[in-house]
Amino acid sequence: MLSPVTGSIKNSILVEERGQRIGHGGTWQARQIGVVRVQPDRHLTLPVTEDHGSLVVAAAASLLGRWRRAARCGVRSASQRAAEYVAVVECRGLASTWSSRHEMRLPPACSTAADSRSFTSAEVSKVDPSGSPKAVTDPILTHCRDPRHAPGWKHGNVTVAISILALVATVLAVTALANRIRFSAPLLLMLVGIGLSFLPRIPIPELSSELVLIGFLPPLLYAAAIRTSVIDFRANRRSIAQLSGAARRRHCLGRWPDHLAASCP
């Protein structure tokens, strides 16, 4: 759950393609609004969070258009059904034409008041990533900005706390059970996780690569590293280096086929 939507949007968007940052527009007042990834099949994906509106898609499309030197790029239509937000992005570039459809779920608080309605392209095209930062009124965001409807307002932080509590409690219970029945704890945890994920009404925390790389990996590696004996490590460094790095590098990078390397511009 994200913090409540407050303040104005200054056409904030970061567009990534295959891990490369290809476009960036403006700043979100407090934080990045989100990362739009362009998939190899030219579909845009964005993290499905509550406070993304049509403007994110529009800004992404526009930035993409600029990057691809597209002749025309924009949101063809955007509409809101009961609890879904749908935007169809169409981009006509010099090299390619593609379109993409997005569906995102709105938080219940925001969807209750919103009847089935459509946004005109004029409404959506208010977002101009190349222009100067200006406040944009997105129908959904305006609605959500009302503190009574804001996702994460009051309830959001409690949900995060409950999620963490539930995760840790489940981990403890399942690990204890695994120890008792002499079963592999990681395996049992994964099975329990798979089972839980198919239950309705359970919010699933997103396991993003950023979370793993910054939140999980450094502490885990540090914990493992401080317990490792450098003396043993040094005594076996030849085998360790060969198994983990040197061999892989020698076998793969060193012999990167020339014809394949040449195909990479």
Q: Which of residues 154-173 bind other proteins (CB under 8 A)?
A: 167-168, 170-171
By CB under 8 A, which span of 84-92, 130-138, 149-157, 189-197 interacts with other proteins? 189-197
Site for other proteins in 122-161 (CB under 8 A): none
Is 15 in contact with 23 (CB distance < 8 Å)? yes
Per-residue tokens: 234: 């040094």
The CA distances from residue 154 to 24, 126, 150, 158, 187, in Å, are 31, 31, 9, 7, 36
Sign of CA dihedral 53, 59, 64, 70: positive
| C-alpha–C-alpha distance, residues 8 and 29, integer Å | 7
| C-alpha–C-alpha distance, residues 108 and 148, integer Å | 12
> Least Å distance between CB 220 and other proteins?
5
| C-alpha–C-alpha distance, residues 215 and 96, integer Å | 39
Based on the shown chain and the rule CB under 8 A, indicate whether residue 198 belongs to the binding site for other proteins. Answer: yes
Based on the shown chain and the rule CB under 8 A, indicate whether residue 181 belongs to the binding site for other proteins. Answer: no
Q: Which is nearer to other proteins, 122 or 223 (CB)?
A: 223
> Least Å distance between CB 200 and other proteins?
10
> Least Å distance between CB 18 and other proteins?
4
Pairing of strands 20-28, 117-119: unpaired
Per-residue tokens: 100: 């993409």
Site for other proteins in 9-28 (CB under 8 A): 17-20
- Options 69, 117, 180, 257; binder of other proteins; rule CB under 8 A: 257
CA angle 218, 223, 227 (to 5 degrees): 140
Q: Which is nearer to other proteins, 125 or 170 (CB)?
A: 170
> Least Å distance between CB 13 and other proteins?
20
Q: Which amino acid is at 177?
A: L
Based on the shown chain and the rule CB under 8 A, indicate whether residue 95 belongs to the binding site for other proteins. Answer: no
| C-alpha–C-alpha distance, residues 178 and 63, integer Å | 50
Q: Which is nearer to other proteins, 82 or 247 (CB)?
A: 247
Nearest to 132 by CA among 54, 26, 232: 26
Residue 206 Cα to chain centre, angstroms: 8
Site for other proteins in 233-252 (CB under 8 A): 233, 235-237, 239-241, 243-245, 248-249, 252
- Options 48, 83, 88, 177; binder of other proteins; rule CB under 8 A: 48
Q: Which is nearer to other proteins, 135 or 176 (CB)?
A: 176
By CB under 8 A, which span of 49-57, 106-114, 148-156, 194-202 interacts with other proteins? 194-202
- Options 30, 94, 181, 261; binder of other proteins; rule CB under 8 A: 261
